[in-house]
Amino acid sequence: MPAYRSLDPCPLGDQTIDERTDVRWGVKMKAAFITGSSKGIGAATARLFRKEGYFVFLHGRNIKDLEALEKELGQKDSILAGDMANPEEIDNICKSLEDRVKFQSMKLQALVNNAGLFHRQKATDQRADYWESQFRVNILGPARMTERLIPLLSQGSPASIINIATTLGMRPAVGTSAYGASKAAMIHWTSSLAVELAPLGIRVNCICPGLVDTPIHAFHTLPADEKEKVKADLKDLQPLGRIGEASEIADSIFFLASQKSKWTTGAVLAVDGGINLK
């Protein structure tokens, strides 16, 4: 462990020496809240933000995955579990986040609306229920959560909201009408929110990933040789010749949270190996 172990006990637990110094000089520590960070793109993003010095609040429903990640990141009291489809649970998460940010004297500077649900289903299958579940998790939940967190983000200003949509929110594909429509709503919501929140010092941007190797796809858990075959079959669809990795989406999310993008708001950034061009 680093040398700070020998210093006085730190009120924030296992932080780096720079973070501790900030606390001693009364500078509030920066925090990020990443929904759906128990796995996939969200977990990769949590790792990157932590590496870059943020305290990262983690979210999802799978407690085992969340506890493992919390331990890996060397954090305590960072899990805010709950169902994005349940308004009451969302309100509880927001209250708990607010209490922890205030109690630990932090600044909430980034909210990543990443949790998402993908059900492939054709309209001709004549089932209506898949519309509701995807709209709840992909747009209604994030909108409710974000609106409740505006005061906290405003206090953390300059702050940044990053919404994770998909290229399927910009173009059609068979079996994705409900998923695509829920993410198209997220893309439009991004621009409306960007205009409304700019005076509060909160930027709002959207990333549209292409095909990324995460547990959202059934092929993710195939044995290595079978998975490589699926990836090879998908290669021709990708102008850059391969599907993406979760860490590549995390890099773009971090860019939009950082001051390197301080003059960017309301943007929709395709991070997709060029698939949207085909």
Ligand X SMILES: NC(=O)c1ccc[n+]([C@@H]2O[C@H](COP(=O)([O-])OP(=O)(O)OC[C@H]3O[C@@H](n4cnc5c(N)ncnc54)[C@H](OP(=O)(O)O)[C@@H]3O)[C@@H](O)[C@H]2O)c1
Which residues are at the interface with ligand X (CB under 6 A)?
36-42, 60-62, 65, 83-85, 114-118, 137, 164, 166, 209, 211-212, 214-216
Q: Which is nearer to ligand X, 69 or 197 (CB)?
A: 69
* Catalytic residue of the set 95, 130, 179, 262: 179
Q: Which is nearer to ligand X, 1 or 218 (CB)?
A: 218
The CB-of-82 to ligand X minimum distance in angstroms stands at 6
As a whole number of angstroms, the distance between CA 63 and CA 49 comes to 20
Active site residue 54: no
The CB-of-147 to ligand X minimum distance in angstroms stands at 17
* Catalytic residue of the set 71, 95, 183, 260: 183
Active site residue 183: yes
The CB-of-79 to ligand X minimum distance in angstroms stands at 11
The CB-of-46 to ligand X minimum distance in angstroms stands at 10
The CB-of-73 to ligand X minimum distance in angstroms stands at 15
Q: Which is nearer to ligand X, 18 or 129 (CB)?
A: 129
Q: Which is nearer to ligand X, 143 or 200 (CB)?
A: 143
Name the residues annotated as catalytic: 179, 183
